[in-house]
Structure 1
Amino acid sequence: MDLIEKATVQAFHRDRLGQDDLRALGYRNNDSQQKRFQALTAWGDMSGCSILDLGCGYGDLKLFLDQHYYDFIYLGIDFLKEFVDEATQRFATHLNTQFFQSDFLTAGLPKVDIAIACGSLNYRSNNSLHPWQMISRMWEIANKGVIFNLLDVHHFADDQVLCGYEPAQVLHFCQQLDPDAKLHTGYLSDDFTVFMRK
């Protein structure tokens, strides 16, 4: 993403700060967020794993993972300072939980067991290799697997900030990295999740 695209994304979120938290994050409502989170957990047991959440927002995924897994390390990264500051405050007493402000598109990322991107790869970019570059980076840093979701181009009307992708095309790319990559659909009409394992 270029500087103008990044500024557009920041403005998209900052314009919604002070409103409902879910709107600030870009979700339509609590149901759409929770169904995406539930889809992510179909990957399998993440107990005892180190997990990197790319585009962590306020850390809502951490709360959801706490209900399903135990003894895991959670690292959240987001390029919006306001999100990271709030998440750091909310989770100040949580062990094995850290938040970092950085642009994960360009930052050096740590090696982890599982890399997750929930909604953070949907931003429009003039770079035709996006999100393929990010999926490849996630695959490189993950010891055990990669989980991400994208908007389905067949059911999502592109806007100035977000865009949809062709599920079959995304799966085909992922199967070049992991021949057993799987597509998970049916939880929302305009969203799909990809599971990759090592």
Structure 2
Amino acid sequence: MHLLDRLSIRLFHDDRQKQFSGDHARSLGWSSTESQFLRFKTIVNALNFDNKCVLDLGCGYGDFKTFLDMSCCVKSYVGVDQQGSFIKQAKNHFKHQTNCEFIKGDFSSTTLPNVDIVVASGSLNYRTRNKTYHTKVIRTMYEKAEEAVIFNLLNSDHFESSSLLEAHNPEQVLNYCLSLCPNSELITDYTDEDFTIVMRK
């Protein structure tokens, strides 16, 4: 991701953290914890995470790991986020769990491990100057996943793009994913404003 795009995202989250101190979901840009967890529920319902190695791109505070701990038992979890303050709090919160690791970095350029399942919830919604950014990230996620990739994006049919956030056409994204993975699925029945794609190997 371009340096100026990364800076815009960092400043956005710095401001949200000041405004919503202690509220993970709203600091991350979600409208509420319920909204954030609705996406997590959709992800967990689509795939079996039991005893899987999971890579969470744009992990924030590690809230998806918390959600996983309530519903299943993963073998390992790696979270990556460019926001240092998020990673610091995540490391502190999960310091007693030996099966998880948090890495500070831009996941579009950081060396990523191979895992069973790659997840990106909310982290692909940012606008970028690089027009091929999203397709390249999706391809990288697919290459790093042994079993499946699952991610959500804002739906351009219901959400208007802004200077920070970019919405996408669900069918166009699905068609691109199908070109990489014939077993790709579009999920739209959980909310209007975004959609989820599952790519199963």
- Per the TM superposition, whether the score is higher than 0.5 is yes
| TM-score calculated relative to the size of structure 1 | 0.97
Greater shift after overlay, 157-166 or 62-71? 62-71
Matches within 5 A, 1:1-198: 1-18=1-18, 19=20, 20-198=23-201
Contact 1:32 1:188 in 2 (8 A): no
Q: CA deviation at 1:22?
A: 1.6
Q: CA deviation at 1:105?
A: 0.9
Contact 2:38 2:190 in 1 (8 A): yes
Q: Which amino acid aligns with 1:42?
A: N
Say if 1:167 and 1:119 are closer, same or farther in 2 by CA, change over 3 A. same
Q: CA deviation at 1:177?
A: 1.0
| TM-score calculated relative to the size of structure 2 | 0.96
- Taking the aligned partners of 2:175 and 2:57, their CA distance within structure 1 comes to 22
Q: CA deviation at 1:160?
A: 1.4
- Counterpart secondary structure, 1:131: helix
Q: CA deviation at 1:142?
A: 0.5
- Taking the aligned partners of 1:181 and 1:42, their CA distance within structure 2 comes to 15
- Counterpart secondary structure, 1:140: helix
Structure 2: unaligned runs, 5 residues or longer: none
- Taking the aligned partners of 2:168 and 2:179, their CA distance within structure 1 comes to 17
- Taking the aligned partners of 2:155 and 2:57, their CA distance within structure 1 comes to 20
Q: Deviations over 1:55-110 (max 9, x none)?
A: 00000000111122114211001001000000001111123011110111111111
- Taking the aligned partners of 1:11 and 1:111, their CA distance within structure 2 comes to 31
Q: Deviations over 1:129-185 (max 9, x none)?
A: 121100000000110110000000111111111110000000000001111200011
- Counterpart secondary structure, 2:16: coil
Kindly tell me the number of residue pairs found equivalent between the two proteins: 198
- Taking the aligned partners of 1:109 and 1:3, their CA distance within structure 2 comes to 19
Q: Deviations over 1:3-30 (max 9, x none)?
A: 1111101111011113232221010111
Structure 1: unaligned runs, 5 residues or longer: none
- Taking the aligned partners of 2:197 and 2:24, their CA distance within structure 1 comes to 26
**Where in structure 1 do 4 or more consecutive aligned residues deviate above 3 Å?**
none
- Structure with bigger helix share is 2
- RMSD, aligned α-carbons: 1.0
Identity over aligned residues, as a percent?
40
